[in-house]
A and B are shown apart, each in its own frame.
Chain A
Amino acid sequence: MARKRPLALRILLWALAFLALVACNEVGGYICDRFGLPVPGTVIGLLIMLAVLAVLRRVPEGLNEVAVYLLSHLNLFYVPAGVGVLGYVALVARDFWPIVITLFVSTFLATIAGGLAFQFVARATDKREADK
């Protein structure tokens, strides 16, 4: 077990880690705007963070703690989006059955496709490796 850092330092590191996440997000948004990329800025921010981690070759402890905390409470941040559906009740009512059927059928198909494709290729490559 690593020695425990003093609380004040840990709070400072958390703040810095959060700022780093915000900075990646903002830079990603700026790049998308500047070059007119049809990609959500936050995904470019994610790729920037990934590049930084690849260069560092490790995850700073404070960053890991902040990331775990934020991701474990992602659902809180979706609540306003869920409530926002209230503004589109008429549209949902109009397209209710197409939506329900699409959600079920498409999710089954995607689950089967992803799982089967993985297993099929995994068996093929494992076998080839075993034959070597």
Chain B
Amino acid sequence: MSDIGGDFIFRGMAEALGWLTLTIVLYIAARRVQSAAKGNPLANSVLLAAVPIMMILTVADVPVSQYQEGGIVLLWILGPATVALAVPFFINFIHVRAAWKPMAVALLVGSVVAVISSVLIGHLLGASIETVRSLAPKTVTTPIAMGISEEIGGIPELTAAFVIFTGIIGAVAASAVFKLVGVSDARARGFGMGVAAGGIGTARAFQESLIAGTFSGVGMTLNGIITAILLPLLWLAFS
């Protein structure tokens, strides 16, 4: 063993730990801003934390791969955190199961419209194939969407960003859109937001009412499961 090798590994670990610490500190600060903005969907803590890091990396001319040595720890926890979605789903499903018929139809219609419209519009407007693949699962909650993106040959990081912007758009626009088309049922509003705008939509739905939030969370998880099973299969069938 040479001392140089050991020193190199040690320095790499210290740097990874530094990036990890910076990420956590910025995230805590971003949460403060978010709660000061009273949970406004535009004050998104992922954006508020990621943008300064992107600026630092660009200015300091550090490659993203070097940052990810630290970031990988957080990405790893995403796996078990996705499994944890089963817990609120199990608890809430008891409260919503009476409405299983409208949920089943809305789930099918919502997820099909989401996937087909994003693939078609992206393709027709001339986006490259990687972009279209990354757009396809964009209404699914982030951790599941990243997995789907990987299965169908998209770029998981891009998908994550698309999911976040989709969630912000959906959360900001949902009440106006629902008013326009006359959706007044709190359950329908919540479920629609969960299917179309994932976790950010669900946070917004909980601001409307407990019923809307509960249906939104269930819609989000069901949409994640269904899209994860169907989208890669359909993609393989049609390509």
Using CB atoms and an 8 Å cutoff, list the residues of chain A in contact with chain B. 18, 21-22, 24-25, 28-29, 38-43, 45-50, 53-54, 59, 63-64, 66-68, 70-71, 73-88, 91-92, 94-95, 97-99, 101-123, 125
Contacts and interface: CB of A to CB of B under 8 A. Distances in A.
9 contacts: A74-B81, A78-B164, A85-B54, A95-B126, A95-B127, A97-B125, A98-B122, A114-B107, A115-B191
B208 interface: no
Interface of B: 23-24, 26-27, 30, 44-47, 49-50, 53-54, 57-58, 64-65, 67-68, 70-72, 74-75, 77-91, 99, 101-103, 105-111, 113-114, 117-118, 121-122, 125-128, 130-131, 135, 138-139, 142-144, 146-148, 150-151, 155-158, 160-162, 164-166, 169-170, 173-174, 177-178, 181, 183-185, 187-189, 191-197, 199, 219, 221, 224-225, 228-229, 232-233, 236
B196 A79 contact: no
B102 A40 contact: no
B80 A38 contact: no
Contact of A118 (B106, B121, B138, B164): B106
Nearest to B76: A77
B109 A98 contact: no
A126 to B, nearest CB: 9
B83 A74 contact: no
Contacts of B199: 74
Given A43-B229, A114-B195, A118-B106, A91 B128 contact: yes
B83 A42 contact: yes
B118 A102 contact: yes
A67 B84 contact: yes
B84 A88 contact: no
A107 B169 contact: yes
B46 A82 contact: yes
Given A50-B86, A53-B90, A107-B197, A40 B228 contact: yes
A71 B142 contact: no
Given A74-B199, A110-B113, A121 B102 contact: yes
Nearest to B150: A40
Contacts of B162: 99, 103
A39 to B, nearest CB: 6
A98 to B, nearest CB: 4
A121 B105 contact: yes
A118 B83 contact: no
Contacts of A80: 23, 67-68, 70-72, 74-75
